[in-house]
A and B are shown apart, each in its own frame.
Chain A
């Protein structure tokens, strides 16, 4: 046994990529900052605002898994996010599930929905892929508008936060915050794990050169579908968590504008970077919160930022910083 340990040690030393949880040194440092922020910020900032950021950050990370690492631009991710919200809200309110189970249910339904939509969409690529996901998501939207359990225009309101494992009541924002923080960090690390797994390696190969991946014997469609389902599941979890935080699930979260918003977050933060989606989500949510007094101008400002992003710094905030410091973030 001793021999193997030493062996592993030397191999690890040869690889610069090796490190804590598979992070590079710069990433480990950034992750440390992120965790510190997650733990310290609720003592200074409004917890509900922070929870909103964390929910969207997880959503953006899930979205980034698909566009950043498989190269698939989904324009229908609101379907998974919104449906996750409805399912969590319904199971928590009507079925009386505990919050962790309700969120889980949101994730499961998200993944099932992802399996269906993904199975159809991966047959096409590029703009056609985006269009199919958009069309399917619109169908989900109309389903949510009409289905009896969603409450139509009213949505599902007064969703109880319940008690974690039936024991810890989550009515206080400060208590709920830690649950949301846990969900976010777990989801973030899962995405990171997926990207740095044997599966993730094939996923990146598909992004880089699909015909070549095929010629190596990989059935590329299977990998795309798997990534799509994982992304949809995490989006469902993010939506479910958000529904619990605000105690409401509405059509806003399942509308196509939400699909656009997550694209914006990911782009602003940095496509295909580990931390970009988190930063992007924080920027956009903060803007929406603090610029709310300007009313409709928020959309205009968002549009300007989007244009500036595409024109001036295409790598996004984190991507540009990483490029400047010559590290992968």
Chain B
């Protein structure tokens, strides 16, 4: 075989391979989207009975589902904010200062990341029962913040590794005190890392099943509501909501990718 045709075969086979992988990744999503338009009314809502928008209409009557989604968003926002604040400040502090017990904090940070989620879930459950903290939105926020903090710290830390310490000194040298320096210099320069960490924290929070499953009490998050409905066969209104969420996030990403990030290229 000539070199050129060899390269051609290589290229075609890699395209086919990638397409198959993407097909694998998107197949269940196609199922969800298609089923959200399925006119079937009989459980377990599987066979195709024609096209309808009914489920999207019915979605707005399903208050339990909508409120679970509201809970998910509320918890995600709160835990992301908390984790981002604590994590960012901690990452900067750990980068700047040397102190005893630093490696101990590092060790603790890795635990939520490497340990199976179920272990963190049941240990938090044990904590909340033993300290009599009533399980609900509060405990969910605390739990989600806990597993989000390390991801924020790692993201900010990655950004810090290419960080020139002297820009902070330059700022102080030019008359800005520590607090002004933090807000004028440190924070904006670290923003991409902080943003990346926050986005990850938010994503992990809205998708979390296992830890929420043990720390929720009577409060239902959207994933837990889905879990509940799986037993009886997921109704197409859940598919409809999932489709809407997916659509929303994709639009958001396209907007940010084309708008905000191009403005301030560094």
To the question of whether A and B form a pair in one complex, the answer is: no
Q: Which residues on A are within 8 Å of B, measured CB to CB?
A: none
